[in-house]
Amino acid sequence: MKTSKALVRMMPASEGRESIASHMKDILAELGEDPSREGLLRTPERYEKALRYLTSGYSTDLGQIVNGALFTQECDEMVVVKDIEFFSTCEHHLLPFSGKMHVAYLPKNKVIGLSKIPRIVDMFARRLQLQERLTRQVAGAIQQVLDPRGVGVVCEARHFCMMMRGVEKQHSGTITSSMLGAFRQNKDTRDEFLSLVSR
Ligand SMILES: [Zn+2]
């Protein structure tokens, strides 16, 4: 069994530390609920399991995801994977935000297996996040793995902390982007990407 630092951190509560589930019982009581009623009896454990899944990206390793799926290829045309659905958790309110991510890069004789890109998105989405940071981290990871001529990432999301509480705006979306290399320096490259993903 692997015992990297990140994995240890994500393991269930060790001895002497209370589990998330036991705290949830107190939280339910604090809300005026009866944690011992039938419907709530196993809710603390279910919540802990869900929360650990939603933050499992902390213990995911970029090298493991890529796992050799890099291929030498004479290719200098833009590669775009659009409409990658993702679900993440806002670090300010611990509420979900979700949407679509569009990822593009300009290869420098090296391409990555296309299915790996959504897995890289999930790796960063399954953490406590800010949309801005999530967008930047996905771009940074593609840059790190492929060393391409450029990377472009656009992220469109809706935040439950805005929809269900606070300003209660159900239809407002937030768009963030991160452009590296040629996508930042070259307007034509950036425009090509943006026109491909806005279709
Ligand atoms: Zn929030």
SS (H, E, C) 171-182: CCCEEEEEEEEH
How many Cβ atoms sit within 10 Å of the Cβ of residue 134? 24
Catalytic site positions? 90-93, 131, 159, 161
**Which of 139, 176, 140, 141 is CA-nearest to residue 157?**
176
Q: Mean pLDDT in the chain?
A: 91
pTM of whole model > 0.85? yes
Better-predicted residue by pLDDT, 13 or 160: 160
- pLDDT value of residue 157: 97
Cα(143) to centroid(ligand 1), Å: 28
> Helix crossing, 116-125 with 131-146: angle to 10°?
140
pLDDT digits (tens, 9 = 90+) for 129-184: 999 999 999 999 999 999 999 999 999 999 999 998 877 777 788 999 999 999 99
Cα(125) to centroid(ligand 1), Å: 14
φ and ψ of 197, to 5 deg: -90, -15
pLDDT digits (tens, 9 = 90+) for 82-114: 999 999 999 999 999 999 999 999 999 899 999
Average pLDDT over residues 64-88: 93
Cα(165) to centroid(ligand 1), Å: 9
Cα(176) to centroid(ligand 1), Å: 15
> For residue 97, what is the DSSP state?
E
Given a contact cutoff of 8 angstroms between Cβ atoms, the answer to whether 155 and 177 are in contact is yes
Q: Per-residue confidence at 3, pLDDT binned at 50, 70, 90?
A: very low
Cα(3) to centroid(ligand 1), Å: 32
